[in-house]
């Protein structure tokens, strides 16, 4: 866990300046009175949150500037199905009833396998017109499959009559071990088999192995001695830092709404690349009765560097500019948005990336039946920060190319047949350019005989292809007087990939079932089951089937008083040894228990 001195000095200097200047934010919002149509709420939850799974990756800090929420906001877009879809609360305190109290709390937990967690929330200032919060969190395991993530943030909101000025600063530290398996196979039709690279290096340590399937941008494929590959770092450390400052209008009597924000984000890998992003946003819209006209702008400037310039397989800098003009009509039972999003990428990728921004909703029977449909798209900047969050075991010098989705069509129906039951069924079709898929990093030698001539390491590369995805999904949620909450989500994914045999590592179906039961006001029990169908991994010209995922989790909490809570959570009760990425088995059954204090 050692960061380079120059990075440490830089981060600490920026931290000192910004903290003393009280540049802070918040995921930001407070309830604004005298407005019956739109409510912007500060994202504060006095509920002690999910103890989490050890393989989760908390965010460092990211402002969530909520756009104008119109009356139709109860009809949402299709929800994607992912892991840990429904957070399971570890403890539900009596203080939930006092929403505006914003109590401070400390939560500490320990578990088997050297698992640990800690959360601290301190509302340093809590007034009607100013909010200043300090947050710290940690979640980690330090056994054989070591991984930990620790974050801190200082956030501030200052409210005026017609505007909110917000700012923030955050720092994150992530440590991980490359505990996954390595593999080999011969070019003459050999089988994929697990291999110890140190053992192979005793015979072929000085032989050269060359990178395979490298997408060449700024360099050619590199050759390494097998000793170098076998003795490459067994762990890595990521540092994440961001700060931002913004101002936005409040939804009161003004018909002109605006927002402007500048954010600086930095990602630094001890063994890999450093990425700095300056992300600027601005928006302006005007309302005339039920009509609204507006335009949003974004400018993303990205800069990269590496201690080893020879392996920086990307441009040192490039920029992306986005412009999104739109018109919207908001009626009692019908809403329409017509817009177009134009993304311009300078230096990297396609220069011009247009996509539609169209959405329509019709409440056929208000509060009972709603139909929605739309066409959208995006140019997605695959930053290091996001990619190493999605797969932390990527090859340390890999920069994934950006992804362009020119068309994303969707449509669905939402039903509320009985009180507190919501059903959302949808269909979604996407056309994708430069879709990436994770594959184990491959090296090959022309001088080593037999199956050891090709090796696949426990770090990951990506392969690209044009693709399309047809998704059909269903979400159902039922709540009984806030004592029992049940949610079911499922989706079927039909991938079509132009230049690959499969959509590597992508499941055909996925589903989640979760429930939360308040047995008494002080005793809460919850559970979650996540299922993901079989997937396929690519090893050269061979395909390996990955077992389905079935993950069962249970949690319980008891609030002894409104300031003291006990909680416990058991993850992976079936002791499944499934893999999210080939070669990396997750932890077996693990238990986390602890206490929470609030004041």
pLDDT in the model for residue 101: 55
**Whole-number Å distance between alpha carbons of 77 and 58:** 24
pLDDT tens track for 436-462: 999 999 999 999 988 899 999 999 999
**Whole-number Å distance between alpha carbons of 90 and 104:** 16
pLDDT in the model for residue 18: 36
Question: Would you say 382 and 405 are in contact if contact means Cβ atoms under 8 Å apart?
Answer: no
DSSP sequence for 327-379: EEEE-SSEEEEEEEEEEEEESSS-SEEEEEEEEEEEEEETTTEEEEEEEEEEE
Q: Which residue has the higher pLDDT, 573 or 27?
A: 573
pLDDT in the model for residue 367: 84
Q: Which residue has the higher pLDDT, 336 or 3?
A: 336
**Residue 216 pLDDT class (50, 70, 90 cuts):** confident
Helix (H) or strand (E) run with residue 37 in it: none
Lowest average pLDDT, out of 33-47, 160-174, 210-224, 245-259, goes to 33-47
Q: Taking Cα atoms as reference points, which of 482, 484, 379, 398 lies closest to residue 442?
A: 398
Q: Which residue has the higher pLDDT, 350 or 207?
A: 207
Tokens of 470: 């047809």
pLDDT at 133 over 90: yes
Lowest average pLDDT, out of 36-40, 53-57, 409-413, 471-475, goes to 36-40
pLDDT tens track for 60-119: 444 333 333 222 223 333 333 332 222 223 333 333 333 345 689 999 999 987 899 999
**Whole-number Å distance between alpha carbons of 529 and 474:** 16
pLDDT in the model for residue 509: 94
Number of domains in the chain: 1
114 torsion bin: left (phi>0), alpha (psi -120 to 50), beta (else): left
CB neighbour list of residue 287: distance below 8 Å, 6 or more residues apart = 255, 257
Q: How far is CA 234 from CA 181, 224, 231, 580, in A?
A: 12, 17, 8, 19
Averaged pLDDT for residues 207-222? 91
**Alpha helix locations (H) across 553-594?**
none
**Residue 573 pLDDT class (50, 70, 90 cuts):** very high
The average confidence (pLDDT) of the chain is 83
**Whole-number Å distance between alpha carbons of 596 and 565:** 5
Tokens of 298: 């974004």
Q: Which residue has the higher pLDDT, 392 or 89?
A: 392
Tokens of 474: 């269903």
Q: Which residue has the higher pLDDT, 326 or 2?
A: 326
pLDDT tens track for 360-375: 999 999 889 999 999 9
pLDDT in the model for residue 29: 33
- The domain of 150 spans 5-598
Q: Which residue has the higher pLDDT, 253 or 577?
A: 577
Instruction: List the CATH number of the domain containing 119.
Output: 2.40.170.20
Q: Give percent above pLDDT 90 in the chain.
A: 68
pLDDT at 188 over 60: no
Q: Taking Cα atoms as reference points, which of 440, 442, 441, 438 lies closest to residue 505?
A: 438
Lowest average pLDDT, out of 78-92, 250-264, 313-327, goes to 78-92
pLDDT at 353 over 70: yes
Count the residues in the chain: 599
């Amino acid at each position: 866990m050692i960061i380079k001195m120059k990075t440490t000095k830089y981060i600490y200097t920026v931290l000192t300046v910004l903290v003393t200047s009280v540049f802070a934010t918040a995921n930001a919002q407070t309830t604004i009175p005298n407005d019956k149509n739109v409510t912007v709420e500060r994202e504060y939850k006095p509920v002690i949150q999910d103890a989490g799974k050890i393989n989760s990756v908390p965010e460092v800090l990211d402002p969530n500037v909520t756009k104008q929420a119109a009356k139709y906001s109860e009809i949402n877009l299709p929800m994607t199905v992912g892991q840990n879809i429904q957070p399971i609360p570890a403890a539900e305190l009596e203080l939930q009833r006092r929403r505006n109290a914003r109590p401070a709390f400390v939560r500490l937990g320990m578990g088997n396998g050297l698992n640990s967690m800690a959360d601290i929330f301190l509302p340093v200032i809590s007034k009607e017109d100013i909010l200043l919060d300090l947050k710290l969190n940690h979640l980690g395991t330090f056994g054989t499959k070591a991984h930990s993530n620790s974050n801190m943030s200082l956030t501030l909101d200052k409210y005026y009559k017609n505007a909110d000025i917000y700012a923030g600063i955050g720092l994150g530290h992530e440590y991980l071990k490359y505990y996954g398996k390595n593999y080999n196979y011969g070019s003459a039709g050999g089988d994929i088999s697990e291999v110890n690279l140190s053992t192979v290096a005793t015979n072929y340590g000085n032989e050269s192995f060359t990178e395979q399937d490298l997408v060449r941008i700024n360099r050619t494929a590199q050759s390494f001695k097998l000793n170098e590959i076998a003795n490459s770092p067994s762990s890595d450390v990521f540092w994440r830092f961001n700060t931002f400052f913004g101002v936005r209008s409040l939804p009161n009597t003004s018909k002109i709404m605006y927002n402007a924000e500048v954010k600086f984000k930095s990602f630094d890998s001890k063994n890999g690349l450093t990425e700095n992003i300056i992300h600027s946003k601005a928006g302006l819209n005007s309302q005339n009765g039920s009509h609204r006209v507006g335009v949003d702008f974004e400018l993303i400037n990205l800069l990269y560097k590496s201690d080893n310039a020879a392996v920086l397989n990307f441009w040192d800098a490039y920029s992306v500019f986005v412009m999104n003009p739109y018109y919207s009509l908001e009626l009692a039972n019908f809403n329409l948005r017509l817009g177009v999003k134009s993304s311009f990428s300078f230096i990297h990728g396609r220069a011009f990336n247009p996509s539609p921004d169209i959405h329509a909703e019709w409440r056929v029977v208000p509060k009972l039946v709603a139909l929605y449909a739309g066409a959208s798209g995006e140019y997605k900047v695959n930053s290091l920060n996001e990619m190493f969050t999605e797969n932390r075991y990527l090859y340390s010098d890999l920069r994934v190319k950006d992804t362009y989705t020119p068309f994303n069509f969707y449509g669905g129906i939402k039903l509320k047949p009985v009180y507190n039951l919501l059903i959302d069924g949808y269909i979604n079709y996407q056309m994708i350019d430069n879709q990436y898929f994770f594959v184990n990093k491959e090296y090959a030698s022309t001088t080593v005989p037999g199956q050891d001539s090709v090796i696949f390491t426990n770090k990951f590369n990506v392969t690209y292809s044009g693709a399309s995805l047809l998704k059909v999904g269903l979400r159902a949620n039922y709540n009984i007087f806030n004592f029992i909450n049940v949610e079911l989500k499922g989706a079927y994914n039909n991938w079509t990939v132009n230049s690959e045999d499969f959509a590597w590592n992508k499941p055909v179906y996925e589903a989640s079932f979760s429930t939360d039961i308040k047995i008494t006001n002080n005793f809460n029990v919850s559970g979650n089951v996540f299922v993901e169908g079989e997937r396929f991994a690519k090893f050269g010209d061979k395909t390996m089937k990955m077992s389905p995922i079935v993950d069962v989790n249970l949690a319980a909490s008891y609030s002894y008083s409104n300031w003291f809570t006990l909680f416990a959570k058991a993850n992976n009760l079936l002791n499944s040894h499934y893999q999210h990425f080939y070669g990396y088995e997750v932890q077996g059954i693990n238990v986390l228990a602890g206490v929470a204090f609030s004041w």
